[in-house]
Amino acid sequence: MRDRIALVGTYMRLAVLNELQYRANFWGSLLEGFLGLAVALGSLAVIFGHTDNLAGWSAMELLALVGIYYIMSGYIQTFVQPSMERLLRDVHKGTLDFTLTKPEDAQLLVSVRAFAVWNLIYVLLGIAVVVFALARAGDAPSTGQIVAFVVTLLLGGVIVYSFWLMLATIAFWYIKIENILVIFQSMYEAGRWPVGIYPPVLRLMLTFLVPVAFAVTVPASALVGRVSGAALAGTLLAALGFFVAARLFWRRGVRAYAGASA
Amino acid sequence: MTALRSLGSLGDYYRVKLKTDLAIEMQYRGAMLIWLIGAVLEPLVFLAVWSAAAAAQGGAIDGLTSHDFAAYFIASLVVNQLTFSWVMWEFEHYIREGELAADLLRPIHPIHQDICENWAHKLLTMTVVIPAVILLSLVFEPAWHFEAWSLLAFLPALLFAFALRFLFDWTLALIAFWTTRTASANQLAQTVFLFFSGRLAPLSLFPPVLVTISFILPFRWMLAFPIELILGQLTPAQALWGMAIQLGWIAAILLLMRFVWRVAIRRFSAVGG
């Protein structure tokens, strides 16, 4: 286990060093982060100019949800997406052979290879927004709420990772799947709002087909103290289910991989 | 006479180019469907948000019920789909890969091929957008208040909106001659567009200052104006005024584009081709 942690550390250090060559990307990420935030704040301002709640959420609660959406997007764009895109490229070119022949778990290796460090700015921005929203809302969340929030956020992270890995694994059978990632991205955008506002079919899709509900709405509900024990248990089960399913699917995928050199 | 002949040959060019582009687009049917999910989902999200807001306020906001919002955002989906372009996202690649250098040798302005590609894409995507609109209409029961004259006036307004937005995007794309960070510029333009075009919400719901600004900026005339026209919210005088403003903007941006293009080409140098 200690070896594995050291291994992940080394990979990440390499990835950071690699990314530090492209410092201009920092400004791009920063600008895009602020623009996205401007859109979110502006739309909240326009909507709450006409109503005092949206499906039971107050303006500051929704702002906290926006912050959580940012934290989750930052996590995806820093850790998950770059590695998965690298995996797709490797499958496409046949260079995944070099990873599969290493004496370490291949799923672990493909999951930590790329690390777009500049996108961590979204995580920081998201945390700032959450803190601001909570401060403006007045009463601070209880310890229980904070614990539930952190736990559901971590579980949401596991679910999103597993989901991306499953998507990327499809590439072992169908080489060109970049477009599937586009679907995920456009559906993920819907997570800027609590899934409760959507019509039932869309809500189901956003919960199980593209698990935005677990990634954003559930942690936000936990933070504002509106999550039931059943929802918490459901999130835990979903995280386990997604993770195991991704693992099994990955194994099958690797078996189906033909390689380029073989 | 030569002007007439060159117009005729331009017509020939469009006919052939449109046909090839359609054939090319057909090859990417799957990708096209996937992109459309995003195009349909965005107005759907805004519709859900405003419907939830209307529900929280006892059914209507400023007299707009969820059925009015449905009509607005379904119209927005169609107008946005018909007027949008992607040239500004591709121009950087187009310059860097040397494709532009080859196109400059042709006796025809490169904007024409972009128009053809755009139209081919629109023609093909309409086969999916129309069923999507019918489906959304069945689910959300939009409140349409069509009038014969405004339906008729909608067509030129839509055409002008396309021309205006396309010229704007094409001029924006020319930034690629000066910088390689075009993504940030595009993102910025897209953000301003989202607010002032009426894509986020009917502009009448915005605070008065922003509404005034929206009348001064070109973006309302690219999207909100045709939408309001087809929804029957404008008087004939307002419709005529709107089209006059659209034409004014088209002329202004066309002049700007020609100027920027000339300066850009002068500083452009390419190797090989």
Strand ranges, E, within chain A: none
Give CA separation, B184 vs B88, B129, B173, in Å: 11, 29, 12
User: Using a CB-CB distance cutoff of 8 angstroms, which residues of chain B are in contact with residue A51?
Assistant: 53-54, 56-57, 61
Residue-wise pLDDT for A106-141, tens only, equals 888 888 888 888 888 999 999 999 999 999 887 788
Q: Which residues contact A169 (CB under 8 A, 6 or more apart)?
A: A246, A249, A250, A252, A253
Picking from A39, A180, A193, the nearest residue to B49 by CB comes out as: A193
Side chain identity at A152, as an amino acid letter? T
For chain A, give the mean pLDDT. Answer: 88
Where do the structural domains in chain A lie, given as residue ranges? 2-256
Candidates B28, B89, B180, B184: best to mutate against A (most CBs of A within 10 A) is B184
Say what percent of chain B tops pLDDT 70: 97
Predicted ipTM of the assembly: 0.86
Chain B residue set in contact with A, beta carbons under 8 Å = 30-31, 34-35, 37-38, 41-42, 44-45, 48-57, 61-62, 139, 181, 183-184, 187-188, 191, 194-195, 200-201, 205-207
Taken in order A233, A236, A237, A238, the sign of the CA dihedral is: positive
Other beta carbons within 10 Å of A240: 14
**Mean pLDDT to the nearest integer, B216-237:** 96
Side chain identity at B134, as an amino acid letter? I
For chain B, give the mean pLDDT. Answer: 89
Picking from B41, B52, B201, the nearest residue to A186 by CB comes out as: B41
State how far residue A78 is from chain B, nearest Cα, in angstroms.
Answer: 18
Higher-pLDDT residue of A30, A44: A44
A209 in reach of chain B (CB within 8 A): no
The pLDDT confidence band at residue B273, using thresholds 50, 70 and 90, is: very low
Give the highest mean pLDDT range of A51-65, A180-194, B4-18.
Answer: A51-65
Residues B198 and A29: their CA atoms lie apart, in Å, by 26
Residue-wise pLDDT for A216-232, tens only, equals 999 999 999 888 888 89
Residues A31 and A167: their CA atoms lie apart, in Å, by 29
SS3 A54: strand
Picking from A32, A46, A193, the nearest residue to B45 by CB comes out as: A193
Cβ contact, residue pair A39, B44, below 8 Å: no
Where do the structural domains in chain B lie, given as residue ranges? 11-267
